[in-house]
Amino acid sequence: MISLIRSEIYKISKQSKTLYALAAILIIEGFVIMSAYYQGAGIIDLLLDNLKDSFEFRGNLLNGNLIIYLILNSLWFHIPLILMIIISGFLTSEYKDKTLETVMLQPVSKLYFILSKYIVSIVFTLFIVLILAVTTFFISYWIFGYGDLVVYLDGLNFFKSDDAFYRLIYAFLSGSITMVFFSVVSLTLAVILKDATKTWIVSAIFLICSNLLLKIDFRNEVINELFFSKLTDSWQYFFYYEIPYSTIYFKNFMLLGYSILVMVIGVLIFKRRDIQG
């Protein structure tokens, strides 16, 4: 099992798609930073427009913490989309290149093989989120400096710089669980669909639907609390003025449960299916 994991890690490190993923993340960061640099002051102005009649403002809200928050919001769509495309490719490329058949000719357990794929996918996801977080914090603070964070969530919430720093770190940690869920789903879709293009399309549709369903009120408390799409926003809860820790723990715990369930489904399908490209 460990040798399979090592071999998967080696494959990923040698594949160009890993570099593409890292490049895509840096490009997203670059775009957010550029747009914040040129339009950030305008956004803040618009946000505080109605308060200008009564208040004078001292201090800079267009700072590193705000930029990190804006980049963090790429966890809604951009980052999971990139992850789903790359990770599904871990398996679909093996189907396409028929390397899977070659591997299966070796004395390799199908269970361990697919499990190693899932494990490496999770590790890769966590690595990408870590890279995103580290580069975001470093670049944002370097260019924009420190300062209070303002977020619109149930009103205008202002956080002191050090408080914002911890909230942003926790949000990245919580967001990584959501990213793991989407990665596991994409790998399971790859198991089911085998074909790269089909998997990308279905993964993108899954992500879009998940985002849309998050905003729909099902008028049923159980569905509203337990449906998977309702659990993918836990990282945003760190920006409520009073952090609802119990909600965050619940959502993350449930989402981990869903991830395991999806993984089990993928493993069972892979085990029972004949390996054919």
Partner 1 sequence: MKGLFFLSIFLIGLNQVCAQEIDNDLLQIKKRMDSIKSYDAQIKLDVDISFINMPSKYGKVLYKQGETTKVTSEDFIMLPKRGLDLTLNEIFKYPFITVNRGEANHKGILCKVINLIPTSSKSDFSIATIFMDTKAKRIVKSEISTKMEGVFTTYLDYKNYADILPMKIEVEFAVNSVKIPLRFLGKETEVDRKALKQEGSKTGKIFLTLSEIKIVK
Distance of closest approach, residue 159 Cβ to partner 1, in angstroms: 8
- Residues in touch with partner 1 (CB under 8 A): 43, 46-51, 53-61, 69, 73, 147-148, 150-161, 163, 215, 233, 236-237, 239, 241
Instruction: Count Cβ atoms below 10 Å from residue 136 Cβ, excluding itself.
Output: 25
Cβ neighbors of 70 (< 8 A, separation 6 or more) are: 32, 36
Distance of closest approach, residue 217 Cβ to partner 1, in angstroms: 10
Q: Which is nearer to partner 1, 181 or 237 (CB)?
A: 237
Cβ neighbors of 147 (< 8 A, separation 6 or more) are: 59, 60, 61, 62, 63, 64, 65, 66, 161
Q: Which is nearer to partner 1, 56 or 274 (CB)?
A: 56
The whole-angstrom separation of Cα 95 and Cα 91 is 6
Of the candidates 236, 235, 65, the one whose C-alpha atom is nearest the C-alpha of residue 160 is 65
Q: Which is nearer to partner 1, 88 or 234 (CB)?
A: 234
Distance of closest approach, residue 70 Cβ to partner 1, in angstroms: 8
Of the candidates 35, 46, 27, 237, the one whose C-alpha atom is nearest the C-alpha of residue 144 is 35
Question: CA triplet 153, 158, 162: central angle to 5 degrees?
Answer: 120
Q: Which is nearer to partner 1, 39 or 109 (CB)?
A: 39
The whole-angstrom separation of Cα 132 and Cα 168 is 12
Q: Which is nearer to partner 1, 59 or 107 (CB)?
A: 59
